[in-house]
Amino acid sequence: MEVPVRNVQGEVVGRLELDERVFGITPNRAVVHQAVVAQQANARRGTADTKTRGEVSGGGKKPYRQKGTGHARQGSTRAPHYRGGGIIFGPHPRSYEQQVPRKMRRLAMRSALSDKVAQQALIVVEALQIEAPRAKAMLGVLHALEVAESALIVLPERDEAVARASANLPGVRAVTPGGLNLLDVLKYRKLLMTREAVVALSEQLTREVRGRPISGRAPVLRPAQVLRPAQDERGEVAEAPALPPVLEEPVEAAEEPALGPVLEAPVEAAEEPALGPALEEPVEAAEEQTREPAPEEPAETA
């Protein structure tokens, strides 16, 4: 993708090849919206505060007795429904900070730049220099480039003359690639960049993101957490105790005690005691003795 390069008189003096990864992608509207909301939220100070019924002065006395007046019972004239009372559900100091990943921020910026190129709102100049830091001289250059109504000027480095000349123009702002933000790109109608600024911005938006810890932020040592040398009572730095010398010779391992000679001859198994000669003749069963029945005595007759 090529765009014409002009001078401060508005004449075409060359052409510049733009990086497709920065100026030629399809805009991601969802990511742009999320980045814009996050930037606007981070700009809020969050200092708004209202007083509750416990913070408003007065109202310590019961306005009238509990019963017998015909009115609803009241305990304080600083209740929320009273004039001069406390505010319920009012704002209190809080943080509106929103964090957007770096890759999403870069995608939102590349989407906005690609949209400017698609709308032919990007104007590249060879160099932007004015003779005197006056608004009239800057206005003449912008009229020659047809961007006098609303323009965001991006310079490779800060130029004090251009910055002072554009400060008095309500629709013009001069920034560097490091100070370019998404809201400014979307706010101004024209984007005026020098050749060096285009190269620097393309390199900045295509640079690889280095790995970071799981928490998302590298640990930062606070001033109180920085290790400082110990001091004595007089405020002088105390010398660190000397460490013992390093043992050059390795420590020999202690010899294990001998376990004695190994038994060469196998241990014989103890003989089991003999149970005696086996009974060769079978045991004869004892004959059962039969008891003879007793003789019956004759019955006596009367």
Structure tokens given for 201 = 């911005």
CA gap 112, 32 in Å, rounded: 8
Q: How many helices (H) and strands (E) does the chain have?
A: 7, 6
pLDDT bracket for residue 148 (50, 70, 90): confident
86/82 Cα distance (integer angstroms):
8
HSE at residue 12, side-chain half, CA atoms within 13 A, is 6
Query: Higher pLDDT residue, 2 or 264?
Result: 2
Spatial separation of the C-alpha atoms in residues 89 and 52, rounded to whole Å: 9
β-strands 12-17, 172-175 pairing: unpaired
Percent of the chain with pLDDT over 70: 69
Res. 279: pLDDT tops 60? no
For the cut 60, the answer to whether the pLDDT of residue 189 exceeds it is yes
**Which pLDDT band holds residue 285 (cuts at 50, 70, 90)?**
very low
* β-bridge mates for residue 154, sequence order: 175, 193
- The predicted pLDDT at position 228 comes to 54
Q: What is the pLDDT of residue 10?
A: 86
Across the chain, mean pLDDT equals 81
Q: Which has the higher per-residue pLDDT, 187 or 211?
A: 187
pLDDT band for position 40 (50/70/90)? Answer: very high
Backbone angles phi, psi at 192, to 5 degrees: -105, 115
The half-sphere exposure of 289 on its side-chain side, counting CA atoms within 13 A, is 2
Is 213 a residue whose pLDDT tops 90? no
Q: What's the CA gap between 195 and 178, in Å, rounded?
A: 16
Full set of structural domains in the chain with CATH: 2-25+113-205 (3.40.1370.10)
Burial of 184 (C-beta count, 10 Å sphere; 0-12/13-18/19+): middle
Q: Is the whole-model pTM more than 0.75?
A: no
* pLDDT score of 207: 87
Tokens of 52: 């509750």
Residue 237 has pLDDT above 80, yes or no: no
Between 214 and 273, name the one with better pLDDT: 273
**Closest alpha carbon to 114 in 14, 203, 190, 27:** 27
Find the range with the poorest average confidence among 162-176, 253-267, 279-293. Answer: 279-293
242 pLDDT higher than 90: no
